[in-house]
Structure 1
């Protein structure tokens, strides 16, 4: 069994960051350093995202839905002057809800859900 956090951090979140980085640069005319601050990564990572060298694949949900989820939490991070990592569990919860509905597949574990049962 895998902990869903592991899948989220290794596969889904990099794609989400890449999509959000491109969106922030294009739509909000932010520079790479500003984007890096809000996404909690380095400026060179943003350059890779911008040039489609990282964060290409999205699992479980559509790219559009991921961007929609990410934007909600990004706006919160910008308003609170923090980075998006402060909301990683909430983002994960939204992705899981969108991907699987209320029933998590048996081959994934959620540490938050396990902790609630203890």
Structure 2
């Protein structure tokens, strides 16, 4: 059975978003321990994100990358974050920029993706 859009996001988008946020925050000078406390995941997971061992299936560009950088910078400046709101707003930009269409194309077998796309109600392709 094909995966639902949110499953695709959880499996492929969320780990990459967390990895990029973690890497950005550590590069700005925040400790991995503090990043783990803010994001709400283990220090070991942060270490794997920062080292590139985990969460680098996707590379974000353009508006999505800018949104991640903005969230990381705001988090660094404030020393805390509303991660739910921040990650959801990043996910909204992911959906608006057709990333779900790319994932659909990669993980589904149908060739006429926009007319049959199960993501069309949550992305801007169709």
Sort the Cα spacing of 1:8 and 1:77 in 2 relative to 1 into closer, same or farther, 3 A. Answer: farther
Contact kept, 8 Å, 1:36 with 1:43, in 2: the verdict is: yes
**Distance in 2 between the 1:75 and 1:110 partners?**
31
Sort the Cα spacing of 1:39 and 1:109 in 2 relative to 1 into closer, same or farther, 3 A. Answer: farther
Aligned residues: 105
Sort the Cα spacing of 1:107 and 1:87 in 2 relative to 1 into closer, same or farther, 3 A. Answer: same
Unaligned runs of 5+ in 2: 100-113
CA RMSD of aligned residues (A): 2.9
The residue aligned with 1:23 is 24
Greater gyration radius: 2
The residue aligned with 1:116 is none
Q: Deviations over 1:59-91 (max 9, x none)?
A: xxx523333222333455564934422344322
- RCO higher in 1 or 2 (8 Å CA, sep ≥ 6)? 1
Contact kept, 8 Å, 2:5 with 2:118, in 1: the verdict is: no
3-state SS, counterpart of residue 63 of structure 1 = coil
The residue aligned with 2:85 is 86
TM-score (ref. length: structure 2) = 0.65
Sort the Cα spacing of 1:72 and 1:5 in 2 relative to 1 into closer, same or farther, 3 A. Answer: farther
Sort the Cα spacing of 1:75 and 1:5 in 2 relative to 1 into closer, same or farther, 3 A. Answer: farther
Unaligned runs of 5+ in 1: 112-118
The Cα of 1:3 is off from its aligned counterpart by 3.1
